[in-house]
Amino acid sequence: MIRYALLCEHEHDFEGWFAASADFDDQQARGLVQCPVCGSAAVRKAIMAPAVSGTKKRDADPGPAQTQAMMMEAMGRIRRHVEENFDDMGDAFASEARAIHEGRSEDRGIYGQATPAEVRELVEDGVPIAPLPPEPPKKTQLN
């Protein structure tokens, strides 16, 4: 497996794993490599240092507390990006997501609330949706 650092035309960075180096080129040519943030198919490889094994002992893996803190920070950045760049539809999210999917409304990023039944229907109908990460706890709420 080969891991590539990737960038979309809007400078969103993410990584992709491919069985061989030619697989990236093939999938990109067919428009199958897309940015997970904005959906752009204009994706390129970013410069990255190769992962080379050495004889020096590496730093210990982060502990559970550090891993949790890193995950909370990443989820917070995703949530902030959505809230700053997408339209809040409130409880009209499901109907607007369906309208966008069916071409009856402008194609744009949205977020909001939906009932479990609405979510199930959207997924069954092939409407691309994903849950928004929860708000990170306030620093005053942490131990």
CA distance 55 to 103: 57
pLDDT digits (tens, 9 = 90+) for 18-63: 888 888 888 988 888 998 888 888 999 887 766 666 666 556 677 8
Cα torsion 43, 45, 48, 52: sign: positive
Q: How many Å is the maximal CA-CA distance in the chain? A: 59
pLDDT digits (tens, 9 = 90+) for 57-100: 556 677 888 888 888 888 888 999 999 999 999 999 999 999 99
